[in-house]
Amino acid sequence: MSGFPILSLMLAVPLVGAIACLFVGDKMSRFVALGATLATFVLGCILWANFDIGGAQWQFTERADLFGRFQWALGIDGMALMLIMLSVFLMPLCILASWDAIKQRVGLYMAMFLIMEVVMIGVFMAQDLLLFYIFFEAGLIPMYFIIGIWGGANRKYAAFKFFLYTLLGSVLMLIAMIAMIAEAGTTDIPTLLNYNFPPEMQTWLWLAFFASLAVKMPMWPVHTWLPDAHVQAPTAGSMILAGVLLKLGSYGFLRFMMPMFPDASAQLMWIVFGLSMIAVVYTSLVALVQSDMKKLIAYSSVAHMAIVTAGLFAFNQQGIEGALIIMLSHGVVSAALFFCVGVIYDRLHTREIDRYGGLAVNMPAYALFFMLFTMASIGLPGTSGFVGEFLSLAGIYEASSWVAFVCTTGIILGAAYMLYLYRRVVFGELTKDDVKAMPDLNAREWTIMVPLAAVALWMGVYPESFLAPMRGDVTTVVARLAPAKPAGDAHLAAGKPKTAKPHGETAHGSSHAGGVQ
């Protein structure tokens, strides 16, 4: 497998598909897009199968000196691999989700989605700072079109807000990148990861990166573009926005800010913790009072992302691994929840929670899946949400018990708003005539639900499949952060075992004394 440019191929397949979609007409473009995304997914699976866990940090590296000043440098580590898998897994489902819902300008729509895919996986593959920035920013254009052309009633406002908000954040990061390149004299990310920037410079660079990534994340108080964008975007747009685009921010935290500016990260971690604590509680409360389903899930995304940031800045193995699992889990679960909304939106053309009720009666299969994803979002043990939340909260507790305390209330509030949503939509009396007339899931919707549900359960039951490739990279980051890491307020230490009073057999007592406790 070595030497074959599989990463470039993964970028080329959807790109070629996108160009083809523009020219083959509306009907064919659906199949072209599905074919291209499935092919990319297969390539992704090959990538995962050939990824050497515990091997070199950067694998499948490619380097071509195409651009003079910077390179076409690709390569992945475990974290990037998992996020790429998330993207290529969601993409065919997004195409399927918009199979019937999108009726106008289908070719352009499919092309935009495929470009979106190129850009997203490009971000995770880029090994060159400028290449990363180009991919990172390029996502604005297709998303602008997706929201603006195929969105809801207020789509134009939402598209503008999305574009300008995220652009304003990103440009500051560009200035920081220029300063980094000037200081370190290279655009190579693996080299920059081990470059020690002067601490006072780190602070400024950190703040500039933070301005950009916090908007992408999004963190409170710059999250306001997200509910607008989500509500107005078409179903598949919301799926990809929540599923992958929000992960770009946390990926940037983990890939750039923490390992490149460890001192500043430690110095300014109070900002992240403070904003995360506010976000968890505040956006959960806001979610509780929403009457629009998509808005509710959008606010819940902000709350989940806040636990991710807090987990990352715990600076320890559990916290970061937990944050990564939340990222993956939220990617699957929030996409699934947005799809659940899309399913009933396609039937009734409203997102008002009050317009529904009693769906459990006439749509039992739908109710089952919706229940599963609701539980996964809440973090019920056995679902993906539990693993991530438990790990990250354990990590946060080690760093600061207060932050852990506040973040945990977010979990409780999360259960409140999700269950409340579920009760109002699915339970209750089935009184409304138009709701009664809604048919249950069709074959296409089953095809989308089943893989999402399978992955959510897989990640909940055996998260090791997902954690194993990332563990080494997390350890590297933790080691890089170790010198700067402030002491946590939880002084975890192994307790002193008391020797149990001997009763019964003596052999039992002796084995206890030498035990692990």
Partner 1 sequence: MTADLALVWPELILTIGGLITLMLGTFAGDRQVGLYQLSSLLTLAAAAAAVVALFGIETTVFSGTLSVDSFGGFAKLLIYAASFVCIVIAPRFFNGGMRAEYPTLILFAALGMGIMASSRDLMTLYVGLELNSLAAYVLASFMRTDERSSEAGLKYFVLGALASGMLLYGISLLYGFTGTTDFAGIAKVLGGELNIGLIFGIVFVLAGLGFKISAVPFHMWTPDVYEGAPTPVTTFFATAPKVAAMALLTRVVIDAMGPAVGAWQQIVIFLSLASIILGAVGAIGQKNIKRLLAYSSINNVGFMLVGLAAGTQQGVEGVLTYLLVYMLTTLGAFLVVIQLRDANGNQVESIPALAGLSQRRPGLAAAMAVFLFSLAGIPPLFGFWPKYLVFEAAVNANLVPLAVAGIVASVIGAFYYIAIIKTMYFDDKSDTEFPKGGGAIVEDAVITASALWLSVIGYLFIPVLAVLSASAAAVLF
Contacting residues toward partner 1, per CB under 8 A: 66-69, 105, 108, 130, 133-135, 137-138, 140-141, 144-145, 148-149, 155-156, 159-160, 163-164, 167-168, 171-172, 174-175, 178-179, 181-182
CA distance 514 to 160: 66
CA 330 to chain centre: 6
Q: How far is the CB of 221 from partner 1 (least distance, A)?
A: 18
Q: How far is the CB of 459 from partner 1 (least distance, A)?
A: 33
Q: How far is the CB of 277 from partner 1 (least distance, A)?
A: 29
Question: Would you give the DSSP letter of residue 382?
Answer: T
Quick one: which of 268, 276, 324 has its CA closest to 477? 324
Nearer residue to partner 1 within complex by CB, 11 or 325: 11
Quick one: which of 253, 266, 189 has its CA closest to 218? 253
> Cis (ω within 30 of 0) for the bond into 221?
yes
Quote the radius of gyration of the chain (alpha carbons, Å).
23
Please calculate the CA angle 221-222-226 and round it to the nearest 5 degrees. Answer: 115
Largest CA distance in the chain: 83
Nearer residue to partner 1 within complex by CB, 209 or 466: 209
From the CB of residue 457, how many other CB atoms can be counted at a distance below 10 Å?
Answer: 15
Q: How far is the CB of 186 from partner 1 (least distance, A)?
A: 14
Q: How far is the CB of 134 from partner 1 (least distance, A)?
A: 4
For every residue of 149-162, which 3-state class applies, written as one string? HHCCCCHHHHHHHH
Nearer residue to partner 1 within complex by CB, 67 or 458: 67
Nearer residue to partner 1 within complex by CB, 71 or 290: 71
Nearer residue to partner 1 within complex by CB, 108 or 478: 108
- The amino acid at residue 245 is L
Nearer residue to partner 1 within complex by CB, 165 or 356: 165
Q: How far is the CB of 21 from partner 1 (least distance, A)?
A: 13
Integer CA distances (angstroms), 54 to 6, 51, 69, 167, 468, in order: 20, 9, 33, 37, 9
Q: How far is the CB of 273 from partner 1 (least distance, A)?
A: 27
Q: How far is the CB of 100 from partner 1 (least distance, A)?
A: 21
Nearer residue to partner 1 within complex by CB, 25 or 497: 25
CA 480 to chain centre: 23
Nearer residue to partner 1 within complex by CB, 178 or 479: 178
Q: Are 208 and 238 in contact (CB under 8 A)?
A: no
CA distance 124 to 349: 36
From the CB of residue 439, how many other CB atoms can be counted at a distance below 10 Å?
Answer: 9
Q: Where are the beta strands (DSSP E) in 359-441?
A: none
